[in-house]
Amino acid sequence: MSFLNGLRGLMGNTSPRLDKWTFPESLDDLRHVFEPNAGVHILYKHSNSCGICFFSKKSIESLMQNRQDAITYHFVEVRQSRDLSNFIEQQTGVRHESPQALLIYNGVVLWQASHGSITETQLEEALEKVKFTN
């Protein structure tokens, strides 16, 4: 049984960084992200049926582990929360894709990527452009 649990963890059903993710359930849980003084947010749109999502999620979780900044990480499972995904698209003007990551600073999208372009290196480079403090 522990072998199967290990596989589940490897495939993304459980997360070693679960404590750093926020899981918005309503539009109200995301509205503040788009306010002028909202700070730094990474919105990650994920689909459990997509193999590429596994790798992009791991890249973001690696970033989480290596950074101690005041970044809020939001995890949106698009098949379960299509309304949230649509809201993000409406607020940002960035067409929905999955997986997709958006770096938002004080309500403005500074960087976005999808599929294989979501890497820890790309996220680090995008964050270097953001001047913020803890």
For the chain, the maximum distance between any two Cα atoms, rounded to a whole number of angstroms, is 48
Whether 110 is covered by a domain: the verdict is yes
How many separate domains does the chain show? 1
Q: Is residue 2 part of a domain?
A: no
Asked if the structure places residue 134 within a domain, the reply is no
Straight-line distance from the first to the last Cα atom of the chain, in angstroms, rounded to the nearest whole number: 41
pLDDT tens digits for range 92-124: 999 998 899 999 999 999 999 999 899 999 999
Query: Does some domain include residue 6?
Result: no
Distance, in Å, from the CA atom of 12 to the CA atom of 55, rounded to the nearest integer, reads 9
CATH number, domain with residue 68: 3.40.30.10
Give burial (CB, 10 Å; 0-12/13-18/19+) of 59: buried
Q: Is residue 78 part of a domain?
A: yes
Q: Is the peptide bond before 99 cis (omega within 30 degrees of 0)?
A: yes
Q: What is the pLDDT of residues 51-83, one digit of tens each?
A: 888 899 999 999 898 887 889 999 999 989 999
CA 17 – CA 67 distance, rounded (Å):
12
Give the list of residues 6+ apart from residue 23 with CB closer than 8 angstroms, or none: 74, 75
Q: Which residue range(s) make up the domain with 85?
A: 17-128
SS3 at position 47: coil
Kindly state whether residue 1 falls inside one of the protein's structural domains: no
